[in-house]
């Protein structure tokens, strides 16, 4: 009977195992997986490892790598890795717990042991990375500096910093790299609103270092602009300048020339009108008007070296000067001297359709009075008068109180002479003339008819009269001309 029971048990035990032709063994299954050497299958039982204390585990002699036991001291499965026992439990000392770890040493760390980046995620989105290079990135997947911050806006906010004493600044270069600078070193390259000391005129400046205009604003309105590369300054509102070395200050001035000074309102200086100056409003310098000077309003200048000073003047000749208002003009040569060019005019017109000149001088030497186009040295439109001077020491009348009275003609043209009535006639001696062709008129204003002046016909007295000696009484008049050596009578009126 004993042998029978033993035989039955042996058959039942063997029948629990299935061995395939590939030396695979299955317990609880007739079809062990092809990749396994042993497969256990059950829905009601488990696999029970050897159980021992921590001390007993450490007493196993020469454990094989992969050996497994259940450590009853730590209530955890341990696996031998070939050099030490390793716990598979999350709360073991070699795992980082969700609720924190204690008794850590300097050899414990979170990270990788090879050249692999360490990524940090929230909501399954990468937020930070510690690159294998040692660079740390927040919002940046490939940090290039020790700390790289990246965000669509405001990537950094620092709270709780003391501001009682300023000693250090953070500066950011154009690429976003942050540098630490002492306040002293930072201020050495900045302009203080309270002024700077120790600056260098050769290296310190306010402005730009590229080809961008430098703009000055007050109350957020542009009040000045240095034009890049032009050495030109534009001040005021809505003014523009494109030339070099120019100064423009005003309202809506347009300057396209170089070396030009313009101030006022709505002045226009065309390209080519270099070395010019404009003061006033609504003036125009054409492109041929280099070296032009304009002051006033609504003037137009076209000639080289020309100028206009007044209102509604038109200057179209080389080296022409115009004064007054609404001058009349003739077609002139703008670029060089021409005998028909106007040299100097004084306009006295009243409007565009009523232009006139009170004085006109041409390059040919002609002067016109109330005449825009003089054809002779003196071309007068209308009459003219010769009057006695009113600034003489003794008034407008000279009293002759001796014979051969010396009379200084000087720059006079009309002489009024009286005698002192004793004797009845007093002779006079005229001084030489200032210029050949000088003409004088002598009027005797003696009252009573019995006293007068005598002009002696004598070369020594500078008097040579074709009619001989002339005695002048009340209202008598004589006209004489200087011939270079003497005064010669050309007209006589005995009243």
Q: For 149-171, how does the pLDDT look when each residue is reduced to its tens digit (9 = 90+)?
A: 888 888 877 776 666 666 777 77
306 and 329 in a single domain? The answer is yes
What pLDDT score was predicted for residue 288?
A: 93
Interacting residues of 255 by C-beta distance below 8 A, sequence separation 6+: 239, 240, 241, 242, 243, 246, 248, 262, 267, 269
Q: What is the DSSP letter of 460?
A: G
360 and 265 in a single domain? The answer is yes
- Calculate ∠ Cα 431-428-447, nearest 5°: 130
pTM, full prediction: 0.56
Give yes or no for residue 209 having a pLDDT over 50.
Answer: yes
Of the listed ranges 171-175, 197-201, 231-235, the least confidently predicted one is: 171-175
Identify whether 320 is part of a domain: yes
SS3 readout for 120-132 = EEECCEEEEEECC
Identify whether 23 is part of a domain: yes
262 and 317 in a single domain? The answer is yes
Interacting residues of 101 by C-beta distance below 8 A, sequence separation 6+: 93, 108
Looking at the DSSP bridge assignments, the partners of residue 480 are 440, 489
* Alpha-carbon separation of residue 60 from 55, 86, 89 (angstroms): 9, 14, 21
264 and 371 in a single domain? The answer is yes
Of the listed ranges 1-5, 339-343, 464-468, 486-490, the least confidently predicted one is: 1-5
What pLDDT score was predicted for residue 389?
A: 67
268 and 368 in a single domain? The answer is yes
Give the model confidence (pLDDT) of 52-99 as tens digits: 999 999 999 999 999 999 999 989 999 999 999 998 886 556 677 778
Of 452 and 127, the one with more pLDDT: 127
41 and 64 in a single domain? The answer is no
336 and 255 in a single domain? The answer is yes
283 and 343 in a single domain? The answer is yes
Identify whether 442 is part of a domain: yes
CATH of the domain at 458: 2.60.120
Interacting residues of 264 by C-beta distance below 8 A, sequence separation 6+: 250, 251, 253, 278, 279, 280, 281, 283
Beta strands at 439-444 and 463-464: parallel, antiparallel or unpaired: unpaired
CA distance 317 to 272: 16
What pLDDT score was predicted for residue 350?
A: 85
Which residue range forms the structural domain that includes residue 321? 249-380
> CA 286: distance to chain centroid?
25
What pLDDT score was predicted for residue 394?
A: 45
Q: What length is written for the chain?
A: 495
Burial class of 42 by CB neighbour count within 10 A (0 to 12, 13 to 18, 19+)? exposed
With H, G, I as helix, E, B as strand and everything else as coil, classify residue 6: helix
Give the model confidence (pLDDT) of 275-301 as tens digits: 999 999 999 999 999 999 999 999 999
Burial class of 9 by CB neighbour count within 10 A (0 to 12, 13 to 18, 19+)? exposed
Give yes or no for residue 243 having a pLDDT over 80.
Answer: yes
461 and 354 in a single domain? The answer is no
CB 294 within 8 A of CB 279: yes
Q: Between the CA atoms of 455, 461, 466 and 470, what dihedral angle is there, to the nearest 10 degrees?
A: 10
Question: Does the bond joining 423 to the residue before it have cis omega, within 30 degrees of 0?
Answer: yes
Work out the pLDDT band at 12, boundaries 50, 70, 90: very low
Identify whether 462 is part of a domain: yes
40 and 64 in a single domain? The answer is no
Q: How far apart are the first and last CA of the chain?
A: 199
CB 110 within 8 A of CB 121: no
85 and 15 in a single domain? The answer is no
Number of domains in the chain: 4
Give yes or no for residue 20 having a pLDDT over 70.
Answer: no
What burial letters (b/e) apply to 392-421, b meaning 16+ CB within 10 Å? eeeeeebebeeeebebebeebebbbbbbee
CA distance 45 to 28: 10
Q: Which of 372, 374, 414, 421 is nearest to 397 (CA)?
A: 414
Identify whether 79 is part of a domain: yes
Among 322, 346, 380, the domain-final residue is: 380
Give yes or no for residue 391 having a pLDDT over 80.
Answer: no
Work out the pLDDT band at 9, boundaries 50, 70, 90: very low
Of the listed ranges 11-15, 124-128, 243-247, 412-416, the least confidently predicted one is: 11-15
Q: Is 359 left (phi over 0), alpha (psi -120 to 50) or beta?
A: beta
Strand order from edge to edge, sheet including 463-464? 398-400, 414-419, 439-444, 477-482, 487-493, 463-464
* Alpha-carbon separation of residue 401 from 408, 421, 428, 451, 458 (angstroms): 15, 8, 10, 12, 20
41 and 52 in a single domain? The answer is no
Give yes or no for residue 213 having a pLDDT over 50.
Answer: yes
Among 29, 60, 95, the domain-final residue is: 95
Identify whether 146 is part of a domain: no
Percent of the chain with pLDDT over 90: 36
Q: Which helix (H) or strand (E) holds 10?
A: helix 2-15
What pLDDT score was predicted for residue 321?
A: 94
Q: What is the DSSP letter of 9?
A: H
Looking at the DSSP bridge assignments, the partners of residue 261 are 247, 277
Question: How many CB atoms lie under 10 A from the CB of residue 134?
Answer: 8
What pLDDT score was predicted for residue 8?
A: 43
Identify whether 168 is part of a domain: no
CATH of the domain at 62: 2.10.10
Identify whether 338 is part of a domain: yes
């Amino acid at each position: 009977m004993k042998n029978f029971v033993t035989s039955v048990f042996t058959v039942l035990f063997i029948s629990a195992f299935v061995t395939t032709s590939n030396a695979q063994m299955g317990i609880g299954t007739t079809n062990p997986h092809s990749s396994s050497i042993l497969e256990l299958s059950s829905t009601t039982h488990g696999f029970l490892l050897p159980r021992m204390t921590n001390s007993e585990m450490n007493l196993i002699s020469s454990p094989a790598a992969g050996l497994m036991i259940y450590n009853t001291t730590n209530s955890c499965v341990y696996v031998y890795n070939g050099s030490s026992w390793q716990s598979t439990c999350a709360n073991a000392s070699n795992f980082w717990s969700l609720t924190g770890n204690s008794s850590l040493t300097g050899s414990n760390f979170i990270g990788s042991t090879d050249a692999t980046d360490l990524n940090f995620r929230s909501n399954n989105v990468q937020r930070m990375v510690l690159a294998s290079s040692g660079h740390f990135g927040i919002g940046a997947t490939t940090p290039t500096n020790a700390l790289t911050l990246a965000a669509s806006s405001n990537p950094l906010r620092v709270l709780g910093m003391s501001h009682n004493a300023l000693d250090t600044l953070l500066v950011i270069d154009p690429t976003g790299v942050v540098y630490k600078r002492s306040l002293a070193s930072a201020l050495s390259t900045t302009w203080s609103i309270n002024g700077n000391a120790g600056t260098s005129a050769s290296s310190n400046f306010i402005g730009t270092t590229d080809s961008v205009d430098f703009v000055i604003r007050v109350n957020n309105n542009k009040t000045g602009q240095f034009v890049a590369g032009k050495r030109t300054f534009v001040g005021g509102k809505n003014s523009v300048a494109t030339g070099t070395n120019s100064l423009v200050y005003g309202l809506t001035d347009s300057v396209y020339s170089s070396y030009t000074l313009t101030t006022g309102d709505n002045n226009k200086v065309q390209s080519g009108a270099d070395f010019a100056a404009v003061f006033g409003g609504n003036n125009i310098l054409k492109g041929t008007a280099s070296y032009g000077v304009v002051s006033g309003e609504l003037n137009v200048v076209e000639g080289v070296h020309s100028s206009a000073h007044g209102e509604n003047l038109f200057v179209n000749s080389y080296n022409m000067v115009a004064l007054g208002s609404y001058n009349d003009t003739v077609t002139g040569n703008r670029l060089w001297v021409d005998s028909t060019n106007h040299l100097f005019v004084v306009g006295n017109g009243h409007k565009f359709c009523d232009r006139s000149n009170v004085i006109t001088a041409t390059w040919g030497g002609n002067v016109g009075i109330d005449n825009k186009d003089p054809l002779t040295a003196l071309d007068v439109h209308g009459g003219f008068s010769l009057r006695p001077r009113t600034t003489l020491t003794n008034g407008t009348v000279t009293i002759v109180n001796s014979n051969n009275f010396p009379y200084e003609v000087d720059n006079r043209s009309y002489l009024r002479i009286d005698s002192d009535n004793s004797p009845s006639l007093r002779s006079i001696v005229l001084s030489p003339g200032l210029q050949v062709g000088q003409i004088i008129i002598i009027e005797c204003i003696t009252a009573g008819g019995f006293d007068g002046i005598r002009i002696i016909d004598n070369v020594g007295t500078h008097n040579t009269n074709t009619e001989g000696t002339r005695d002048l009484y009340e209202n008598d008049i004589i006209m004489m001309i200087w011939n270079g050596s003497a005064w010669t009578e050309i007209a006589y009126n005995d009243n």
